[in-house]
Structure 1
Amino acid sequence: MGFIKRFDAQLLGYDFVNKEFLPEGKDEHYIRYQQKEKNGFRKLTGQEVDMLVRNGNMSDNWDTVLVDDPFNPGLVRNCIFYGLVRIGKLEPQCLEYHDLRLPVGLYNSMIISSDVGDNVAIHNVGYLSHYILDSESMLFNIDEMETSNKSKFGNGIIKDGETEAQRLWMEICNENGGRKVLPFDGMLTSDAYLWSKFRDDKELMRRFQEITENAYSSKRGFYGRVGKGCVIKNTSSIKDVNIGDCTYIKGANKLKNLTINSTEDSPTQIGEGVELVNGIIGTGCKAFYGVKAVRFVMGVNSSLKYGARLINSFLGENSTISCCEVLNSLIYPSHEQHHNNSFLIASCVQGQSNIAAGATLGSNHTSRANDGEIIAKRGFWAGLSTTIKHNSRFGSFTLLTKANYLHSINIDLPFALVGNNESENRLEIIPAYWWRYNMYALERNAWKFVMRDKRGEVGQKFEYSYLAPDSVSEILVALDKLYRWIAEEVEPCATDNHRAIAEKAIAEGYNPASILISSEGIEASSRKVLLKKPVQAVMAYREMVKYYALISFIDYMMANNAGLEGILSLDSDGIDRCWMNVGGQIFRCSFIEELKHRVKSNELNSWDAIHAAYRSQDDTYIYDKARYAKYAMEQIIGQKLSLESLFQLADEGVAIAQMVKERVFQSRLKDYNDPFRKIVYDNQEEMDAVIGSINDNDFIAHSEAVCQQTLNDIESLFVRKYTA
């Protein structure tokens, strides 16, 4: 009748794996014995069985209830056992976590073919089936907790006898599934990006899938695991979930087909009303207060809070999403999205990003098909109630003002403020806005991302500096465009020598408040684009490149105990001009091509090997940055770097470092001096008591210390030899 099947009660707890899926000579427990060794248990004595029965316990066969010593049968009450149950040491102790105190033992629970670790407290677990529990864990008020014979624990694999239709894919970056990837335990944001990006490389796609499948057994019969020191209480349903050490789960509604990684040093917590299905959760993660996630990966130290919804998406390390909805997206590390009515779909957001309230990024209802995408490089900030149309792309550190952007846009001027002037019907851009007007936020963001990186296990070293090879390469491209636009404004018929024309005009005092340029390549419309303060943008970009070069040279000389001759000897010919942000780590494009070749040639045969290849670049990154800095400087000054130009850079670097410190202070000081900010306070003392004095600002103190260190480094490393 209906979907309910009947079978002999004596089979409950047995035949976990159908005989057709068992290797010859193996029984249903052979994988279980691999997960937890067979030895160390004994049968119950007759006296122990009598005591267990008097304590209200039942079993279909007491011979299949095995125990370890010491075993106190008085600590097992009102339980029902089916199948092979193995119970570890039980001693008269109590376990405590926060205000929950439970005596060790098994109470008021049904336990089916499971292994119970030493001194575990199991209270009121209505249905516990095919689990291996490690020592000193606490299970309290759980309705059901079971493992199926074909459990995958969130990994994108299929078991013996299953078809491809039963494989779990995660459809990131695009709603039509064209960039789908297989989730797996230990997956990094970088893995997801490479897999989703290079779709035209069929062999690479095949190898990624092969590597993932080879990492896991297709055999049926794996038991779910609960690690040491876990606390699981007041939870409704747990099915096919591997739970790492020291995980804390309270009040969850449904947890299904998951791997929850957790360690004593970096515990994961899952809270009230949470529903998580088909996912991988990294160490140190948090999911609280009614969040829903389906087909997802949460990177290490990431959080879902306050009703957030994460579907077909990868949330990168050190990120937080709350009160909003994210679908079909790949989100790099250090992403923040906190507000109830923001929406992000079909996007690749490359980290150090923030999505404000009311932002609707990528609703495909504005397109003819659900195959659009948004790509936002690191540092992307979308303002309040911002809407964007597919397809759109944004350069590093793009700041969008509150607006309804009706057309697809392509912003490749980094550090720009972008707005849609509805009254004038035009897009408006201020290049290098962050550097010129909001240095406090730019510098503080880099600092806070480092401070918030609480990963216990560091899979990759992330680049948090806003000036790095990826953003500087964008600056060089942006400078070429600015030179062309200025030259075309000064000499409308100019077709080449744009830089020379622009620099000559600037030297002669050309400095317009704005210029109108064609929207070609910038916006999918026929209207003009207003480029504000283009000459100041040129100057700002040049300062940024010089500051990047200065810091890179200092880092290189400090790391290699080198002098200025070491900088001059760096080979800047044939340098990679292409850099790629892969999951928060910046790589030369040539390295990525080499990595792809090594994967396809079977040299890299596991994800661990691929991750080791990522880490191999850590040792050369300072060198690579310095080489690229030399190249970038030569592009800026228009000639090969010389000793004299290094001395000139040092002189300018002193001024730039002091300017950065001053702009940090001044951009924050505006908040303190704003008369409208003061109107809610009766006096300065009340304001200082509420928000603190600018003189007590920790980051400003940090900024001053960084400036002084930079000045000290310049003085000690850029030594000029004066002649009489």
Structure 2
Amino acid sequence: MGYIIKQPLNWIGYDFIPAEYLPEGKDEYYLRFEQNKNQKTYRNLTAEEIQILEMNHNESTDWNDVLVTDKFFPKQIKRSKFFGLVRIGDMEEVYLEYRDIRLPVGIYNSQIISCDLGDCVALHQVRYIAHFIVGNEVILLNVNEMETSSNAKFGNGILKAGDQDSSRIYLELCNENGGRSVLPFDGMQAADVYLWTRNRQDKVLQQRFWDITHAGFNDIRGYYSEIGDRTVIKNSHTFKNVKIGSDAYIKGISKLKNLTVNSTSEAYTQIGEGCELVNGIIGYGCRVFYGVKAVRFILSSYSQLKYGARLINSFLGDNSTISCCEVLNSLIFPAHEQHHNNSFLCAALVKGQSNMAAGATVGSNHNSRGADGEIIAGRGFWPGLCVSLKHNSRFASYTLIVKGDFLHELDIKFPFSLISNDVTHDRLVVVPGYWFMYNMYALMRNTNKFISRDKRSFKNQYFEYDILAPDTVNELFTGLSEIERAVGKTLGIADPRGWLEAEGKATEEIFVDNAEFSKRQVLLLKPRESYKLFKKLIRYNAVCQVLEHVAPAVVQEKINDFIASGTKRVQFENIGGQLVPVPKLEQLLDDLKKEEVNSWAAMHARYHQMSNEYITDKLHHALASLAEVTERDATSWDAPFWNELLDEALATKKWICEEIHNSRSKDYHNPFRLMVYESVEEMNEVVGRLEDNSFINQQTAEFENFTSKVAAFNGAF
């Protein structure tokens, strides 16, 4: 417990930086003046101004340390106390209005300790504010406590001179035991976190991450807290060591401590009632409301925490929402959705475009000999209602898990699959390609949904939202190999491809190995259908990339460039929502280790460079995949070959559009869905008419556009 110390009254507001940490020749204000470069000319108060101030029941231990500009109106300062060096910006005889609040400019019923106040600020009932730099046209209303320590770090995982290492803030991600911890910093991206949490055995690389983080900061004490221009803070309790950007709106909070809140007029951040946020970084355009508790966290831009959400030791990617639930020790890539009070996520790496259903429990099984291990889930991860998973487990992209308790570790290598328990026969069931076969509407709508929700104003990092992309195409190839292996082993066939390519439904049961760490069987349903589907999707993706990114007049030239490059299909890695060819990623990390990349800004520049090259990389990957799946070298791709592909792609696009309509129309023809309405007309009023569905109509238009693109390539090869 700390001890209350008595000091002389006239010391309040001075000696902010302890003498032992002051550089020679510097005073305690030198960093404050560097932070606040407003170029204003301040002056001392006149005797008349001091008299007016005191008549209005204002006090100061030394009026000589209250400095003002020539635009000063002492009558607009009432019942306030000033300690230390206080500088007040221009004042006007006006009031500030924000959402029906109207407050006169000035300082009323407040206690100011060694602060810089900007132009036309309205401070009302600020009971204690110490060592803050307040911007222009800021409203502070009914705030209890605002203070700053000389060793303030504003949520960054650094130390100031004299700090103990035990006080350093880490984010303990992906694992409960801290073995993948990173140092948070303002501006940290999901890609930064992901790369730092991987390759823990590479001590040189890990040290470089540590070094470039520290190179971006210094250990000097004495930085003030900041509140940006036009920010409004009202009816709030405690602020300590905070840096808040411009145009933010903060109301009714319990505590903000050791925090950076990024905000601008174009992407303003709001924080609402009952929130306690400690040791964190909040990105631009975020919304945090209604009883949120977050500790040791980073909330990326345009994300939301709402309705009692708890986010601890976690990183949440851009354009994500978490409400009503608890997330611990997790690294979550962009476009994550988790809305239900009884969902729980712990010790996980979730690679984005994901959705946690009500009752889903990922973590804290309490059935192992130590802390939770790890869950790694590709894009589109969707554990359904009341799913319980066991660590360690790994899931390919777009895995949907049916309600149930999964008591064993899982390694699902099939993308777009459905996972369920066959309780009657006590076995796991895997349906590869389920989304395409049975719920095309939901699958294809995802891409449009995530694109529309991407609110970033500066999209210099390419986030991949398409369901068919280099990562999922590579997983399709893995799925093909796994299906072949399962069929070959189950049926004792040396070359199972003939069996898989045969017509008709298979009557044999096929079992797959190494999908579950248990002695029970894992049944692979629809192996023939999924095998043919996966191959068709790989071919379709190649045609889509050509149609999208190559003009008919130069298509043969682009193919020749691809042939000349000798490109083979390469692996891509999802680094925070951005897909990067593994060779380029390895080169980046090698350059970091060789100190050719020496800052996070340089790392980000390389991400942006790889984003600029991504469309070409994606096209080459699609062509390499086409060569592999068709078992034809690109030099043999003639006009009949391409014409057949174009015809098949057109048929595939038509099938996709039809299945989008069909999978949605089931909801309109299901009698159990109809029974809650008095008539079809009432149902249409409530849920909308099928023929008015904007997404279905959009897909119809896209099919017509696709048809036109295919026609434009006639004779191009």
Matches for 1:307-386 after TM superposition, within 5 Å: 307-386=308-387
Q: How far apart are residue 453 of structure 1 and its match?
A: 0.6
* 1:590 correspondence with 2:583: yes
Query: How many residue pairs end up in the alignment?
Result: 712
Counterpart residue identity of residue 562, structure 1: V
* 1:682 correspondence with 2:683: no
Matches for 1:544-559 after TM superposition, within 5 Å: 544-558=537-551
Counterpart residue identity of residue 480, structure 2: L
Q: How far apart are residue 7 of structure 1 and its match?
A: 1.2
* 1:609 correspondence with 2:599: no
Q: How far apart are the structure 1 equivalents of 2:310 and 2:683?
A: 38
Report the counterpart of residue 701 of structure 1 in structure 2.
Answer: 697
Q: 1:531 aligns with which of 507, 518, 524?
A: 524
Q: How far apart are the structure 2 equivalents of 1:718 and 1:274?
A: 61
Report the counterpart of residue 231 of structure 1 in structure 2.
Answer: 232
Q: How far apart are residue 301 of structure 1 and its match?
A: 0.4
Judged with a 3 Å threshold, the aligned counterparts in structure 2 of structure 1 residues 514 and 21 are, in CA distance, closer, same or farther, namely farther
Report the counterpart of residue 661 of structure 2 in structure 1.
Answer: 665
What's the % identity of the aligned pairs? 47
Q: How far apart are the structure 2 equivalents of 1:640 and 1:55?
A: 88
Counterpart residue identity of residue 653, structure 1: A
Please identify, of 350-359 and 204-213, the stretch whose mean Cα deviation from structure 2 is larger. 204-213
Q: How far apart are the structure 2 equivalents of 1:487 and 1:302?
A: 47
* 1:446 correspondence with 2:447: yes
Counterpart residue identity of residue 700, structure 1: I
Q: How far apart are the structure 2 equivalents of 1:209 and 1:569?
A: 41
Q: How far apart are residue 493 of structure 1 and its match?
A: 5.5
Q: Could you report, residue by residue, the CA deviation over 1:69-93 in whole angstroms, capped at 9, with x for unpaired residues?
A: 2111111111100000000011111
Judged with a 3 Å threshold, the aligned counterparts in structure 2 of structure 1 residues 485 and 374 are, in CA distance, closer, same or farther, namely same
Given that 1:95 and 1:138 are in contact with CA atoms closer than 8 Å, whether structure 2 keeps it comes out as: yes
Given that 1:575 and 1:628 are in contact with CA atoms closer than 8 Å, whether structure 2 keeps it comes out as: yes
Given that 1:400 and 1:419 are in contact with CA atoms closer than 8 Å, whether structure 2 keeps it comes out as: yes
Given that 2:154 and 2:243 are in contact with CA atoms closer than 8 Å, whether structure 1 keeps it comes out as: yes
Q: How far apart are the structure 2 equivalents of 1:44 and 1:679?
A: 78
Report the counterpart of residue 32 of structure 1 in structure 2.
Answer: 32
Report the counterpart of residue 138 of structure 2 in structure 1.
Answer: 137
Counterpart residue identity of residue 358, structure 2: A
Given that 1:576 and 1:588 are in contact with CA atoms closer than 8 Å, whether structure 2 keeps it comes out as: no
Report the counterpart of residue 564 of structure 1 in structure 2.
Answer: 556
Report the counterpart of residue 599 of structure 1 in structure 2.
Answer: 592
Report the counterpart of residue 6 of structure 2 in structure 1.
Answer: 6
Given that 2:555 and 2:716 are in contact with CA atoms closer than 8 Å, whether structure 1 keeps it comes out as: no
Q: How far apart are the structure 2 equivalents of 1:441 and 1:484?
A: 30
Report the counterpart of residue 254 of structure 2 in structure 1.
Answer: 253
Report the counterpart of residue 21 of structure 2 in structure 1.
Answer: 21
* 1:284 correspondence with 2:285: yes
Report the counterpart of residue 69 of structure 1 in structure 2.
Answer: 70
Q: How far apart are the structure 2 equivalents of 1:455 and 1:715?
A: 35
SS in 2 for 1:156: coil
* 1:710 correspondence with 2:702: no
* 1:630 correspondence with 2:623: yes
* 1:646 correspondence with 2:642: yes
Given that 1:564 and 1:717 are in contact with CA atoms closer than 8 Å, whether structure 2 keeps it comes out as: no
Q: How far apart are the structure 1 equivalents of 2:365 and 2:621?
A: 39
SS in 2 for 1:562: helix
Counterpart residue identity of residue 198, structure 2: K
Q: Could you report, residue by residue, the CA deviation over 1:341-374 in whole angstroms, capped at 9, with x for unpaired residues?
A: 1100000000000000001002251221115000
Q: Could you report, residue by residue, the CA deviation over 1:644-671 in whole angstroms, capped at 9, with x for unpaired residues?
A: 3222111101101111111111111111
Given that 2:363 and 2:372 are in contact with CA atoms closer than 8 Å, whether structure 1 keeps it comes out as: no
Counterpart residue identity of residue 546, structure 1: R
Q: How far apart are residue 720 of structure 1 and its match?
A: 6.0
Q: How far apart are residue 163 of structure 1 and its match?
A: 2.4
SS in 1 for 2:562: coil
SS in 2 for 1:617: helix
Q: How far apart are the structure 2 equivalents of 1:199 and 1:364?
A: 25
Report the counterpart of residue 467 of structure 1 in structure 2.
Answer: 468
Counterpart residue identity of residue 578, structure 2: Q
Given that 1:555 and 1:622 are in contact with CA atoms closer than 8 Å, whether structure 2 keeps it comes out as: no
Given that 1:516 and 1:528 are in contact with CA atoms closer than 8 Å, whether structure 2 keeps it comes out as: no
Q: How far apart are the structure 2 equivalents of 1:30 and 1:513?
A: 81
Q: How far apart are the structure 2 equivalents of 1:508 and 1:84?
A: 85
Q: How far apart are residue 718 of structure 1 and its match?
A: 4.2
SS in 2 for 1:26: coil
Q: How far apart are the structure 2 equivalents of 1:506 and 1:296?
A: 48
SS in 2 for 1:365: coil
Please identify, of 240-249 and 198-207, the stretch whose mean Cα deviation from structure 2 is larger. 198-207
Q: How far apart are the structure 2 equivalents of 1:513 and 1:396?
A: 28
Q: How far apart are the structure 1 equivalents of 2:286 and 2:555?
A: 44
SS in 2 for 1:563: helix
SS in 2 for 1:397: coil
Counterpart residue identity of residue 570, structure 2: R
Report the counterpart of residue 419 of structure 1 in structure 2.
Answer: 420
TM-score normalised by L of structure 2: 0.97
Q: How far apart are the structure 1 equivalents of 2:74 and 2:327?
A: 50
Q: Which runs of 5+ in 2 are unaligned?
A: none
Given that 1:171 and 1:179 are in contact with CA atoms closer than 8 Å, whether structure 2 keeps it comes out as: yes
Q: How far apart are residue 379 of structure 1 and its match?
A: 0.5
Please identify, of 687-696 and 342-351, the stretch whose mean Cα deviation from structure 2 is larger. 687-696
Given that 1:103 and 1:121 are in contact with CA atoms closer than 8 Å, whether structure 2 keeps it comes out as: yes
Counterpart residue identity of residue 195, structure 1: W
Q: How far apart are residue 515 of structure 1 and its match?
A: 2.3
Q: How far apart are residue 577 of structure 1 and its match?
A: 2.1
Q: How far apart are the structure 1 equivalents of 2:613 and 2:2?
A: 64
Judged with a 3 Å threshold, the aligned counterparts in structure 2 of structure 1 residues 487 and 33 are, in CA distance, closer, same or farther, namely same
SS in 1 for 2:158: coil
Q: How far apart are the structure 2 equivalents of 1:416 and 1:363?
A: 25
Q: Could you report, residue by residue, the CA deviation over 1:163-184 in whole angstroms, capped at 9, with x for unpaired residues?
A: 2212110101000000000000
Report the counterpart of residue 511 of structure 1 in structure 2.
Answer: 505
Q: Could you report, residue by residue, the CA deviation over 1:58-115 in whole angstroms, capped at 9, with x for unpaired residues?
A: 0000000001121111111111000000000111111111121111110000000000
Matches for 1:383-398 after TM superposition, within 5 Å: 383-398=384-399
Counterpart residue identity of residue 530, structure 2: A
Q: How far apart are residue 210 of structure 1 and its match?
A: 1.1
Q: Could you report, residue by residue, the CA deviation over 1:593-634 in whole angstroms, capped at 9, with x for unpaired residues?
A: 011011112221111111110010122212111111111111
Q: Could you report, residue by residue, the CA deviation over 1:517-573 in whole angstroms, capped at 9, with x for unpaired residues?
A: 14x321000111111111000111112111211111122314x96223422541373
SS in 1 for 2:311: strand
SS in 2 for 1:366: coil
Please identify, of 151-160 and 685-694, the stretch whose mean Cα deviation from structure 2 is larger. 685-694
* 1:541 correspondence with 2:542: no
Judged with a 3 Å threshold, the aligned counterparts in structure 2 of structure 1 residues 2 and 134 are, in CA distance, closer, same or farther, namely closer
SS in 1 for 2:366: helix
Matches for 1:98-117 after TM superposition, within 5 Å: 98-117=99-118
Please identify, of 457-466 and 670-679, the stretch whose mean Cα deviation from structure 2 is larger. 457-466
Matches for 1:36-75 after TM superposition, within 5 Å: 36-37=36-37, 39-75=40-76
Counterpart residue identity of residue 331, structure 1: I
Judged with a 3 Å threshold, the aligned counterparts in structure 2 of structure 1 residues 238 and 193 are, in CA distance, closer, same or farther, namely same
Judged with a 3 Å threshold, the aligned counterparts in structure 2 of structure 1 residues 547 and 2 are, in CA distance, closer, same or farther, namely closer
Given that 1:556 and 1:562 are in contact with CA atoms closer than 8 Å, whether structure 2 keeps it comes out as: no
Q: How far apart are the structure 1 equivalents of 2:676 and 2:493?
A: 56
